[in-house]
Amino acid sequence: MMSKALLVVDMQELTVGKNHAKIFDYPVDFLDKVNTAIGNTDADIVIYIRNLMKNNLINKLAPFKCFEGTKEAELVAELKVVSNNVFEKYEGNAFSNTELISFLKKEKITEIEVIGVDGGGCVALTALGALECGFKVTLNTSYIGTVFEKQRDKYYQKLQEKGAVIL
């Protein structure tokens, strides 16, 4: 029997909160759409992924910051949170976190649906990582926010070539 996980990627104050970084300009109703997806999912497990930056000199000079323990790093307050399954990542691909992989294997997950932000970055990179780890992958574009459209198109082509389902 297949077990499915819904990965909700980078729905944090920095990216979709009321005071989000200006580079992240998603539609006003995007958070509502993601909440609907979470509420209606057929997944066995919902997992939240938070993107963090290492607190080093280079990142301290970045135009926006997302360090552990800051408001920007928190899941956005209005997000529908239905589990305590929260994993951090320090790069685009959530599967760079070996604890996430171990958790999914322990839960016998075989299929991953990825939603959140950004379709031209972390969502696509996480989907590629899931494929490389042997998971069946689905991306539902209704629940994926994208500001990096050129990168999204390139990644989506690669994802389809590798067997991902893009709805």
CATH number for domain 4-166, candidates 1.20.1300.10, 3.40.50.850, 3.20.20.70, 3.50.50.60: 3.40.50.850
pLDDT at residue number 65: 66
Q: Where are the domains of the chain?
A: 4-166
Those residues with Cβ within 8 angstroms of residue 94's Cβ, 6 or more apart along the chain or in another chain: 7, 9, 49, 87, 100, 122, 126, 129
Paired with 4 in beta bridges are 111
Q: Measure the CA angle with vertex 71, ends 66 and 72; round to 5°.
A: 35
pLDDT at residue number 63: 60
Cα separation values, 145 from 8, 31, 98, 139, Å:
11, 9, 26, 11
pLDDT at residue number 12: 81
Tens of pLDDT, residues 53-104: 777 666 566 666 666 677 777 889 999 999 999 999 988 899 999 999 999 9
Read off φ and ψ for residue 45, nearest 5 degrees: -140, 140
Query: Model pTM?
Result: 0.88
Give the residue carrying structure tokens 């604890």: 99
Q: How far apart are CA 19 and CA 155, in angstroms?
A: 28
Q: Which of 2, 17, 10, 20 lies closest to 48, judged by CA?
A: 10
Say how many residues make up the chain: 167
